[in-house]
Structure 1
């Protein structure tokens, strides 16, 4: 997995009313909501590893540090760029930048852990033998 360091991916989001703080309940202004920024950042980290994971494995989010620095109105497009910065055993740490053009909208550090999918689900739903 050390060879995975540097793996990256990008995702775009054009802000709609469904993405605003007013709609998701995280505020009362019609701009990109912080929870949507977080979801976009996590989705970019998932995409960065999509072709590298073996069948039966997945990653799950365990920790996020997020700075949402600038508002993005409806109709504008942001780009999330995730890059795997560090591998420590099963723990994967990503740096994510969300930008609108040249402006940085948000920055995040996202930690994910590599898990066996069926074992994880069995634990989550209490069906472990």
Structure 2
């Protein structure tokens, strides 16, 4: 059984490289497409309220520019589970079916409170 989640977004002005500081063009910014790919990985995980997951490794190629108004569908498919570690193949396509980005994301399932208790406070 394939474990896959899909998330759909429409590129708005707030998602552009110019808006997020990753360039000066009004096209979908790489940090945004990465966040949308990670959102799909989180959507696939069915965790209880005491758990969450954290990203530990990302390898993504942003292949094609997407204009404001484009519809981007991100998909995350589990390729490996090893204890708390989950590895996903991820892909983003536009409304024409063009591959916009692809790669792999690794997440670790953690106890929410235990994880937060280890985060150092800011002085």
TM-score range, shorter chain: over 0.9
With the length of structure 1 as denominator, give the TM-score of the two structures. 0.88
1:60 equivalent to 2:79? Answer no
In structure 2, the partner of 1:81 is 75
1:22 equivalent to 2:18? Answer yes
1:103-114 aligned within 5 A: 103-114=98-109
- Runs in 1 of length 4+ with deviation above 3 angstroms? none
Displacement of 1:108 in angstroms is 2.0
1:24-75 per-residue CA deviation (whole Å, 9 max, x = no partner) reads 11011110000000000000000011xx213311111111001000000001
1:70 equivalent to 2:42? Answer no
Distance of 2:75 and 2:64 partners within structure 1: 16
Show structure 2 runs of 5+ residues with no match. Answer: none
In structure 1, the partner of 2:4 is 8
Displacement of 1:18 in angstroms is 0.2
1:39 equivalent to 2:7? Answer no
With the length of structure 2 as denominator, give the TM-score of the two structures. 0.93
